[in-house]
């Protein structure tokens, strides 16, 4: 393939639902954790925790249902359930072909996520995505949830420090509406990807991004680079 002449562009990817199909892991792991502590819930009951880091989510379980000694204990227990599941999650359909295009064009790429880095590392390695992502930045490191743009801004600063330049444009790839909204307020351009296994409404994702896709089969690198606005 001919090398694409890329402008000064960086790509920042969410993990769950954007890079990998991890929803089934969470659909099992979180209810399983709570069930072990005598609390039976549905997947929909977890929508209130969507924007939180995993550590904060486990603390919320303790605060709301009074289970476990503390959030830390629940976090360790949930991590044990999750780590194995994350090593087996598949990448989104068509993703690797798109990432190959971006890597060929010399575009720096990283992950910005609410999920703990050890789980994301396991997922990237298992899905064959680790060769494309330079590093992982988490909301735990950034200090605030994805309802704020901090994690995307921190990821961008790290990319700029690593490459010794300022990027003219940074794109956030995200399936969560709250992440699309917050990154948009900070000036990022956004590719909104619909996750049919997730809890986001398709129309809301489409209404909060510059480029909307149902899957990476719908996306070509040239389309992103040619975007004006």
Confidence of residue 72 (pLDDT cuts 50, 70, 90): very high
Confidence of residue 7 (pLDDT cuts 50, 70, 90): low
Residue 137's SS3 state is strand
Whole-angstrom CA distances from 140 to 37, 58, 81, 136, 210 are 25, 13, 20, 11, 27
Question: Please, which residues bridge with residue 213 across strands?
Answer: 193
- Is the pLDDT reported for residue 4 higher than 70? no
Place of tokens 């709301």: 64
pLDDT of residue 1: 41
Q: Are 49 and 199 in contact (CB under 8 A)?
A: no
Listing from the earlier edge strand, what are the strands of the sheet with 9-13? 136-138, 109-113, 9-13, 169-174, 189-193, 211-213
Residue 195's SS3 state is coil
pLDDT of residue 163: 94
Cite the beta strand spans of 73-227 per DSSP E. 109-113, 136-138, 169-174, 189-193, 211-213
pLDDT of residue 211: 98
The arithmetic mean of pLDDT across residues 96-123, rounded, is: 95
- HSE-CB of 99 using CA atoms within 13 angstroms: 24
Lowest mean pLDDT among 43-47, 134-138, 173-177, 192-196: 43-47
Neighbours of 162 (CB within 10 A): 12
The arithmetic mean of pLDDT across residues 10-20, rounded, is: 97
pLDDT of residue 49: 86
Q: Nearest to residue 128, comparing CAs of 159, 88, 155?
A: 88
- Which is higher by pLDDT, 163 or 84? 163
Place of tokens 């901090």: 150
Q: What mean pLDDT value characterizes the chain? A: 92
Q: What is the rounded CA–CA span in Å between residue 135 and residue 45?
A: 32
Lowest mean pLDDT among 1-15, 106-120, 160-174, 201-215: 1-15
The arithmetic mean of pLDDT across residues 47-70, rounded, is: 90
DSSP 92: P
Q: Are 112 and 174 in contact (CB under 8 A)?
A: no
pLDDT of residue 148: 97
Give the burial class of 47: count Cβ atoms within 10 A of its Cβ; 0-12 exposed, 13-18 middle, 19 or more buried. exposed
Helix-strand-coil split of the chain, %, nearest 5: 50, 15, 40
pLDDT of residue 23: 83
Read off the pTM. 0.84
């Amino acid at each position: 393939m001919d090398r694409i002449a890329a402008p000064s562009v960086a790509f920042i990817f969410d993990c769950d639902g954007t890079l990998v199909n991890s929803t089934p892991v969470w659909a099992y792991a979180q209810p399983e954790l709570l069930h072990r502590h005598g609390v039976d819930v549905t997947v929909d009951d977890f929508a209130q925790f969507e924007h939180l880091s995993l550590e904060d989510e486990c603390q919320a379980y303790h605060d709301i249902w009074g289970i476990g000694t503390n959030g830390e204990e629940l976090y360790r227990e949930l991590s044990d359930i999750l780590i194995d599941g994350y090593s087996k999650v598949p990448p989104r359909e068509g993703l690797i072909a798109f990432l190959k295009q971006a890597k060929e064009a010399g575009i720096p790429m990283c992950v910005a996520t609410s999920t703990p880095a050890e789980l994301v590392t396991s997922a990237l390695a298992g899905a064959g995505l680790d060769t494309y992502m330079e590093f992982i930045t988490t909301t735990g490191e950034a200090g605030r949830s994805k309802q704020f743009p901090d994690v995307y801004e921190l990821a961008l600063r790290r990319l700029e420090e690593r490459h010794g330049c300022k990027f003219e444009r940074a794109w956030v790839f995200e399936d969560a509406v709250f992440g699309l909204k917050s990154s948009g307020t900070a000036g990022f351009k956004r590719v909104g990807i619909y996750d049919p296994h997730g809890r986001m409404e398709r129309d809301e994702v489409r209404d909060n991004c510059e480029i909307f896709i149902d899957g990476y089969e719908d996306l070509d690198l040239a389309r992103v680079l040619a975007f004006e606005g």
